[in-house]
């Protein structure tokens, strides 16, 4: 990719007449031109304060912010009524952030990745076999979403009353995470979905199967969580990955298809352990979670800029992964990057709890796809990647010779 660093976006921003005009420009650049926008910020205003947020864009600044959760705290308290209470993802309370993170980590051991790969791979192959005759597959509704829902059912122990209802609850809840303008319809839908999800989960409190929820329900008394805390944590399991896993997988396949020689090399490597490197490098070129947010609790000097207490801080993982100060030749597709360059699962005390199964299910589903012959883009409109409000809706690709 070739990024225009000095395209004058900041001059246009400074000249915009009102705070609303400024935010509209920022919104437009984030959705259509994020690489160029962040490149310009990294070069000229690495800590960028707008009327709504402060963006942090350089790799070392991103790491500094994410490492300090007491100063830059999770500020998702408005998500608590949806989950039914505080959670490690929403706030810094001692109980949820130390004890519960440890408990949940023990229930999602990295050793489970083989099992997750088996589930994701089996489901992906079923979907690909069913689609083979049609010569095309919708990567969103026909492949990756079913894979994520199957992992949610078989590994996490949360199948939902049916997969479609579970996915609708999660979509409604996740939309409220990015509802910065407080749209009342999105908010109401999220609250209703959260309430229904929790009623459903309370029905699973006695579930004791060999899956994450079963393990959560059968922790020994000394470590056990109350029924209420189990429900809050169980509610976050599907919310934590159904959308991000589906969108990340579809985004990265789009990036591979945009680079035919790399797609071919990835397909040729689909039987090798090196295959995953293609996956994480491709996702760097269009991560689903481009920014994560924090609330700044005390005035804090970052570089030469003071971030005032109370600021909403947008920490750009996507920008950090393209920072030429920390990443060699960031605009090149390279397989030899060290692990610390990849921030897809966050960093620091709030690093994703599902890092291991999340990485396994995404990489395995994409591997099974690319192992098939003739995976290719189709011309629009059929082959257009359709997104709604930033969430993937449809992305049909060709299969077979």
Q: Is 354 in the site for ligand HEM (CB under 6 A)?
A: yes
Q: Is 237 in the site for ligand HEM (CB under 6 A)?
A: yes
Nearer to ligand HEM, 156 or 200 (CB): 156
Long-range (24+ apart) CB contacts under 8 A made by 128-133 are: 128/368, 128/369, 128/372, 128/399, 131/399, 132/372, 132/399, 132/400
* 3 state SS of 391: strand
Contact 179, 76 (CB under 8 A): no
Q: Is 342 in the site for ligand HEM (CB under 6 A)?
A: no
Part in contact with ligand HEM (CB under 6 A); list of ranges 37-45, 118-126, 323-331, 353-361: 353-361
Task: Map 215-258 to HEC letters.
Answer: HHHCCCCCCCCCHHHHHHHHHHHHHHHHHHHHHHHHHHHHHHHC
What are the Cα distances from residue 325, in Å, to 46, 280, 329? 12, 20, 10
Q: Is 36 in the site for ligand HEM (CB under 6 A)?
A: no
**Can you tell me the distance from the alpha carbon of 161 to that of 276, in angstroms, rounded to the nearest whole number?**
33
DSSP string computed for 31-81:
HH-HHHHHHHHHHH-SEEE-SS-EEE-SHHHHHHHHH-TTTEE---GGGHH
* 3 state SS of 20: helix
Residues in 43-102 at the binding interface with ligand HEM, rule: CB under 6 A: 88-89, 101
Q: Is 289 in the site for ligand HEM (CB under 6 A)?
A: yes
Nearer to ligand HEM, 45 or 101 (CB): 101
314 φ, ψ (degrees, to nearest 5) = -100, 110
Q: Is 392 in the site for ligand HEM (CB under 6 A)?
A: no
Q: Is 352 in the site for ligand HEM (CB under 6 A)?
A: yes
Q: Is 248 in the site for ligand HEM (CB under 6 A)?
A: yes
Q: Is 345 in the site for ligand HEM (CB under 6 A)?
A: yes
Part in contact with ligand HEM (CB under 6 A); list of ranges 13-21, 46-54, 342-350, 365-373: 342-350
Residues in 215-234 at the binding interface with ligand HEM, rule: CB under 6 A: none
Tell me the β-bridge partners of 138.
396
Q: Is 346 in the site for ligand HEM (CB under 6 A)?
A: yes
Q: Which residue has the tokens 């993802």?
A: 89
Torsion of CA 39, 43, 44, 45, to 10 degrees: 70
Closest approach of Cβ 349 to ligand HEM, in Å? Answer: 6
Closest approach of Cβ 323 to ligand HEM, in Å? Answer: 17
Q: Is 353 in the site for ligand HEM (CB under 6 A)?
A: yes
Nearer to ligand HEM, 108 or 399 (CB): 108
Part in contact with ligand HEM (CB under 6 A); list of ranges 27-35, 122-130, 348-356, 382-390: 348-356
Q: Is 366 in the site for ligand HEM (CB under 6 A)?
A: no
Q: Contact positions toward ligand HEM, by CB under 6 A?
A: 88-89, 101, 236-237, 240-241, 244-245, 248, 289, 292, 344-346, 350, 352-354, 357-358
């Amino acid at each position: 990719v070739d990024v225009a660093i000095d395209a004058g976006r900041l001059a246009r921003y400074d000249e915009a007449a009102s705070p609303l005009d400024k935010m509209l420009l920022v919104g437009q650049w984030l959705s259509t031109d994020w690489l160029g926008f962040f490149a310009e910020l990294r070069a000229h205003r690495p800590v960028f304060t707008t009327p709504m947020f402060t963006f942090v864009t350089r790799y070392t600044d991103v790491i500094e912010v994410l490492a300090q959760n007491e100063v830059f705290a999770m500020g998702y308290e408005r998500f608590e009524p949806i989950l039914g209470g505080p959670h490690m993802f929403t706030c810094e309370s001692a109980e949820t952030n130390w004890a519960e993170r440890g408990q949940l980590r023990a229930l999602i051991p990295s050793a489970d990745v083989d099992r997750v790969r088996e589930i994701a791979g089996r489901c992906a192959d079923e979907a690909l076999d069913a689609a083979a005759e049609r010569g095309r597959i919708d990567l969103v509704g026909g492949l990756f979403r079913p894979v994520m829902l199957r992992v949610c059912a078989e590994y996490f122990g949360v199948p939902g009353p049916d997969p479609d209802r579970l996915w609708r609850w999660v979509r409604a809840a996740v939309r409220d995470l990015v509802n910065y303008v407080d749209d009342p319809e999105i908010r109401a839908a999220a609250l209703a979905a959260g309430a229904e999800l929790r009623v459903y989960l309370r029905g699973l409190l006695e579930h004791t199967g060999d899956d994450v929820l079963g393990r959560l329900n059968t922790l020994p008394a000394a470590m056990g969580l109350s029924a209420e805390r189990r429900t809050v944590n169980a509610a976050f399991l599907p919310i934590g990955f159904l959308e991000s896993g589906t969108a990340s997988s579809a985004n990265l396949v789009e990036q591979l298809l945009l680079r035919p020689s790399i797609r071919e090399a990835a397909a040729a490597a689909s039987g090798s352990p090196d295959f995953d490197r293609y996956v994480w490098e491709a996702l760097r070129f269009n991560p689903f979670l481009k920014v994560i947010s924090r609330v700044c609790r005390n005035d804090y000097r970052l570089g030469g800029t003071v971030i005032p207490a109370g600021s909403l801080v947008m920490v750009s993982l996507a920008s950090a992964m393209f920072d030429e100060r920390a990443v060699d030749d960031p605009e090149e597709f390279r397989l030899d990057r060290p692990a610390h360059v990849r921030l897809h699962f966050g960093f620091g005390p709030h690093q994703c709890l599902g890092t291991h199964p999340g990485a396994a299910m995404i990489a395995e589903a994409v591997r099974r796809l690319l192992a098939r012959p003739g995976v290719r883009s189709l011309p629009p409109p059929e082959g257009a990647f359709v997104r709604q409000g930033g969430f993937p809706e449809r992305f049909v690709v060709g299969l077979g010779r």
